[in-house]
Structure 1
């Protein structure tokens, strides 16, 4: 409200309405078939981008961890513990593989939200016999 009290440049007498009355969005059931098809394509693109971003984060993290583990295993090999260094590398590779797959393949909250909306769009389109 500080913006309205600015040395008398703006004189506000009466009610102040912020916004122009436009709808921010409308329910899927009120959308036309073309709008629904465009919305579904848009949300599928969002899912694809989210998957790529998540995969990139997992790969970068795995590379950083493997570099650290490789340095530690190299140090142990240098000290003469070749079996220990092999176990360290093998176990780390197995654990990182499973954790990376779990992280990438498990949908996060955003992906669940997008999947739910795509499913709702598919149901509406089926009920309208578009697909």
Structure 2
């Protein structure tokens, strides 16, 4: 049996701590996979350009270099993916003020990055909240 609960079909407010909440649209499996694919594609391009590990790893001569290169790509992709998921599925937030104290600060890429970098535990909660519906759907066979 499957459940079609509000977690999969309705916007929801996610408390992040310190009086901050973020409103998320329903995340679909297809939407998640599209963002993931794009993030890994961009991460491979970025890591290849910026890393000395790229050429060494790709020639296959050193398994440790290849593992380090893959770890680098995964780290970059995780960051890009979270930013893209927030851009696609976050509707608004409360409890976030700009530098002058005006609230709410606009939910835009620049302000999101400031929150992600300044309050990483909140970013982790957003990441978990974004993945939860997809993980639940997959666990029930709905993916």
Give the structure with the larger strand fraction.
2
The two structures have a TM-score, normalised by structure 2, of 0.32
Larger helix percent: 1
